[in-house]
Amino acid sequence: MIANPNLFAQQEANRRRSRWLVIGFILFFAWLGFGGDLIAYLYTRGGPPGAYHHVVPVFGVLLTLIGSAIAAWSWKTGPKRVLWSTGARELTDPVALDERQLDNVVQEMAIAAGIPRPRIWIIEDPDPNAFATGHDEGTANIAVTRGLITLCSRDELQGVIAHEMGHVKNLDVRLTTLLAALVGAVALVSNGMGRMIFYGGYSPGGLRMSGRDTGGGRSSSNDRGGGSGPLIVILLVVWIVSWLLAPLVTRLLALGVSRDREYLADAMSAQFTRNPLALAEALQKIESADAPTRSIKSGAAHLCIADPLGRPLNHGESKFASLFGTHPPMGKRIARLEAMAYGSLPASSSVAPPPAPAPNQV
């Protein structure tokens, strides 16, 4: 197999992005914790000698540990959680003709890509779509919808599976699966904190926002904060907004994963199958499908070969769409594949040997 710098550059970029994603996630939780400690310290430092003074940064230490635990949990269980969220079932003993064909195609494309055979999953959804998840080549999973199996010919199915093999080989699955898991974890934590803020009526440090002190008398924020009232208010607003915007920030990170990963996986599919038109025709059928992929929610949409939500943003080529769109415009992807087929655009990806037919080919 001939190595191509594009593949190795993409692999290293995905490793680097995954590391920074985890570091940024933990630092965000550290800010939420230590920011809460700072607000509580400023609020209580002006109290009388017998009153509570928040000095030990317990929230910062606790939330940093929680953030680290969530990141580790997301890394370990991310692939399983993504598959569970779609209702996928593993294909272990294919009996039906279309399932045997899928199993053979996955085996063929694994040989062509030079990677171990991924585990195969089927999602009972009539809309055609597919995605790959996992940490690396040894832990990869490929999931396809029932609609894709029904709609695509054998060659077209090869093109789609080879595209997903490309994501596995260039380690896109590591980054995108981690993103999907963190999006869900952050949304859960943020929702819980939002309920506590708005319905529990508490500020950092367990102090009520009503302005009453522990003795039942009233005191202003300036009195309790030693003259730091405006600073406390500003920090508190930023702190609360950080909690509330956390799910949006992680979703934007998922949206901001480079569209180039899809072009590279398309090119790798062309190399593995030696038939760029097969994927082009499959993408055309997927694009023509009317219904969204209801089994795949927004948190995992960036994993799919086509946007399961059908968002207009992914049809444009503006700078905004390039930054936040999860997928390139389907027409542009199809045009590139057709250009490869007719020799006007070389497939600049990893070069693999032609696929060897699997035994008992269906």
pLDDT over threshold 50, residue 203 = no
Let me know how long the chain is: 362
- Domain shared by 90 and 162, yes or no: yes
- Domain shared by 102 and 63, yes or no: no
Domain boundary among 204, 239, 255: 255
Q: Residue 71, Cα to own-chain centre: how many angstroms? A: 13
Q: Which residues of 64-73 are buried (b: 16+ CB within 10 A; e: fewer)?
A: beebeebbee
- Domain shared by 134 and 268, yes or no: yes
> Looking at residue 215, what is its pLDDT?
46
- Domain shared by 324 and 286, yes or no: yes
pTM comes to: 0.74
To which H or E segment does residue 132 belong? Answer: strand 130-133
pLDDT-based confidence at 256, cuts 50/70/90? Answer: low
pLDDT over threshold 70, residue 228 = no
What is the Cα–Cα distance from 135 to 186, expressed in whole angstroms? 20
- Domain shared by 250 and 261, yes or no: no
Of 145, 144, 146, 136, give the one whose Cα is nearest residue 167: 136
Domain annotation covers residue 346: no
- Domain shared by 263 and 138, yes or no: yes
What is the Cα–Cα distance from 307 to 129, expressed in whole angstroms? 9
In degrees rounded to 5, what are phi and psi of residue 142? Answer: -120, 125
Of 220, 262, 213, 179, give the one whose Cα is nearest residue 10: 262
> Looking at residue 354, what is its pLDDT?
44
Whether 164 is a known active-site residue: answer yes
- Domain shared by 155 and 295, yes or no: yes
| Tally of domains in the chain | 2
Range of the domain at 239: 18-77+176-255
pLDDT over threshold 70, residue 301 = yes
- Domain shared by 193 and 238, yes or no: yes
- Tell me, what CATH number does 95's domain have? 3.30.2010.10
Q: Which of 156, 164, 262, 281 is catalytic?
A: 164
251 close to 298: Cβ distance less than 8 angstroms: yes
Domain annotation covers residue 118: yes
Question: How many Cβ atoms from other residues are within 10 Å of residue 140's Cβ?
Answer: 24
pLDDT over threshold 60, residue 213 = no
pLDDT over threshold 50, residue 52 = yes
Lowest mean pLDDT among 200-204, 308-312, 342-346: 200-204
- Domain shared by 204 and 331, yes or no: no
> Looking at residue 259, what is its pLDDT?
67
> Looking at residue 350, what is its pLDDT?
41
> Looking at residue 121, what is its pLDDT?
97
